[in-house]
Amino acid sequence: MLKNDLWIKQQADAGMLIPFQEKLIRHLNPEENKNPVLSFGCSSYGYDLRLSAKEFLIFRHIPGTVMNPKKFNPDNLETTTLHKDKDGEYFILPAHSYGLGVALEKMKVPENITVICLGKSTYARLGIIVNTTPAEASWEGHLTLEFSNSSGADCRVYANEGICQLLFFEGDPCQTTYSDRKGKYQHQPEKVTLAKV
C-alpha cells in the first residue's frame, strides 16, 4: 500500500526524515509568491527530497580506462563547483554527462516499508534523469543520488531544493531487513558514497 501524508508526518515525528518539511514548499516567501524553488517537503502521497549542497561529482572520460563496478576508480570522478546567484545555489551538470549527489535529508526507513526514489518532472523536461533508487526496509542514511543529463545542453541542478520524490510502500513484514543483513550501503553520510561490491 502506498502511504499518505498523514502517515509520512507521523513517521517523520519518529525520526524517519531529518530535517523534515511538513508542507510542500514552492516559494521561500509563500505569502508574497516570491523566491520560487523546485518544490520540496511532504505531498499527498510522497516526500520531495532535497539535494545537499555538500558534494556533487561528475564522471569524466579518462582515455584507456573502463569503469568497473567491482573495482571502482574514484579518479573517474571530479568535484564540481557550487555556484550561487539570485535563483539559488546550483551545480552544473554538463550535456551528455552523469553525476552523483547526495540527499540533504537523512532517512531511517521503517522495517515494513520500502521507499522508491523517482525523478521530478521539472528536471525530466530538461533531460535530467534521476535514477530510480530503492531504500529497503530498515535502511538508514543519506541517499546517494544518480543523475544523467541526456540533453545536448548543460543544466543547472539546484542544491537545497527538491530533486526527487520518495514514495513509501508498506509490505508484509520481511524475514530479513537491510539492517539485519548489514547491507553495504547502510549509514551513508551526507557525502557521495561510491559503488561497492
Confidence (pLDDT) at 89:
97
User: What is the number of structural domains in the chain?
Assistant: 1
Give every residue of the chain whose pLDDT is below 70, as ranges.
30
Give tens-digit pLDDT for 66-79. 888 898 888 889 99
Distance CA 188, CA 105 (A): 11
All three cell numbers of 89:
545555489
Domain membership of residue 6 (yes or no) is: no
Confidence (pLDDT) at 65:
81
Q: Which residue of the set 146, 161, 170, 190 is catalytic?
A: 146
Domain that includes residue 82, residue range: 51-170
The reported pTM is 0.92
Distance CA 101, CA 15 (A): 22
Report the CATH number that the domain containing residue 129 is assigned in CATH.
Answer: 2.70.40.10
Confidence (pLDDT) at 75:
86
Domain membership of residue 42 (yes or no) is: no
Domain membership of residue 100 (yes or no) is: yes
Distance CA 38, CA 121 (A): 10
**Is-catalytic flag, 146?**
yes
